[in-house]
Amino acid sequence: MIITTIEDLRRLAKQRVPRMFYDYADAGSWTESTYRANEEDFRKIKFRQRVALNLENRSLRSTMIGQEVAMPVALAPTGLTGMQHADGEILAARAAEKFGVPFTLSTMSICSIEDVAANTTRPFWFQLYVMRDRAFIERLIDRARAAKCSALVLTLDLQVLGQRHKDIRNSMSAPPKLTVANILNMLGKPRWCAGILGTRRRGFGNIVGHASEVSDMSSLASWTAQQFDPALSWDDVEWIKRRWGGKLVIKGVMDPVDARLAADSGADALVVSNHGGRQLDGAQSSIEALPAIADAVGQRIEVHMDGGIRSGQDVIRALALGAKGVYIGRPFLYGLGAMGEAGVTRCLDIIRNELDLTMAFCGLRDVQHVDRGILLPGTYPVPRLEVPA
């Protein structure tokens, strides 16, 4: 199969990854309206094509929170990455490192912080969920620091879990339930089965053996159900910032009011994100929310975004609307599930090529010069009037 688009990788991943894990990655909450809007709203945004301009010596190089990147794209934190492909977090981190873009490891990863650190040579980012067990969070932060992670990405939009119907139908949980239907489906994926049987990394490496009440996978489900903290507040953000002491990114901001609070917190960046449409169904798409947030706080804090990006054209649309950088989750998971490390590299190659060509067609040579001028007026979202606090 010739791979030319992210959609090609998605179709191949769907063939090769067991249904429960593919659906876990490729699904939204409730009716999935926000999940779909994340992609669809990008397609509404049109470009202004320019001609007869010097397009030699183009550059996609930029920075994200002070770190040089080959293009302004990072791999987003995604739970259970190691169930899309054996040792998935390690493979994705390696691909990102070789490409020159950041990799972000999820708290809910299969491979541990230490696993990824031992198999890479450059610092990666670590994503943190705030649990009720603050002693565990302190240890997790300390482990990230010991692994020389260069940024902490603090997710704020998972105080409660969105209802994801595909996960319910597939008996998807932590740990996953091996129903008869799931086992039969897995047996139809021999490449995936061989990889999983060939690795020792099949649990939640950041939690099992580290949380005081989780000595093995059998005790994980009850612990996880009790741990996400609905009382999370900006005071906790300040405590985490002090404990961490390094670069801090706030993920899950969808409103200018919260964006101002993120800027007030002293964080280095925020991520405009609706959790890939997996939390509040009926919320705005990320790209629709981006301009108002960028206008409100873009001079005070670095603004990133994720959600719905499926091409390099989507990347440049987000940059034009105020993002300093973007995160891709599902695209790299499709590549990982389809072809392992080579698939993640192919995903990044596709996005880089599409970003470079689109920038050229719009008459620019440097990605750092991208702004709303490359977009056709009337086709992109603009900030609304000030919203009440």
Could you tell me the two tokens for 107?
A: 């708290």
Question: Which strand (E) or helix (H) includes residue 63?
Answer: strand 62-64
Between vectors from CA 166 to CA 161 and to CA 167, what angle results, nearest 5°? 50
Domains, the chain, in order of start with CATH, read 6-374 (3.20.20.70)
DSSP 207: T
Give the pLDDT confidence of 237-288 residue by residue, as tens digits: 999 999 999 999 999 999 999 999 999 999 999 999 999 999 999 999 999 9
As a whole number, the mean pLDDT across the chain is: 95
Q: Which residues are annotated as a binding site for glyoxylate?
A: 24, 129, 164, 275, 278
> Cis (ω within 30 of 0) for the bond into 175?
yes
Asked if residue 225 has pLDDT above 80, the reply is no
% of the chain residues with pLDDT over 90:
89
Give the pLDDT confidence of 13-59 residue by residue, as tens digits: 999 999 999 999 999 999 999 999 999 999 999 999 999 999 999 99
Q: How far apart are CA 222 and CA 79, in angstroms?
A: 18
> Mean pLDDT across the stretch 343-367?
98
Give the pLDDT confidence of 49-81 residue by residue, as tens digits: 999 999 999 999 999 999 999 999 999 999 999
Give the pLDDT confidence of 138-188 residue by residue, as tens digits: 999 999 999 999 999 999 999 998 999 998 899 887 777 889 999 999 999
- Residue 180 · residue 170 · CB < 8 Å: no
- pLDDT of amino acid 176: 78
Give the pLDDT confidence of 86-133 residue by residue, as tens digits: 999 999 999 999 999 999 999 999 999 999 999 999 999 999 999 999
Global pTM reads: 0.96
Active-site residue, 275 included = yes
Of 210, 275, 304, 369, which residue is the catalytic one?
275
DSSP for 93-131, please give it. HHHHHHHT--BEE-TT-SS-HHHHHHT-SS--EEEEPPB
Grade residue 386 by pLDDT with cuts at 50, 70 and 90.
low
Cα 43 to its chain centre, rounded Å, is 20
Q: Which residues are annotated as a binding site for FMN?
A: 77-79, 106, 127, 155, 251, 273, 306-310, 329-330
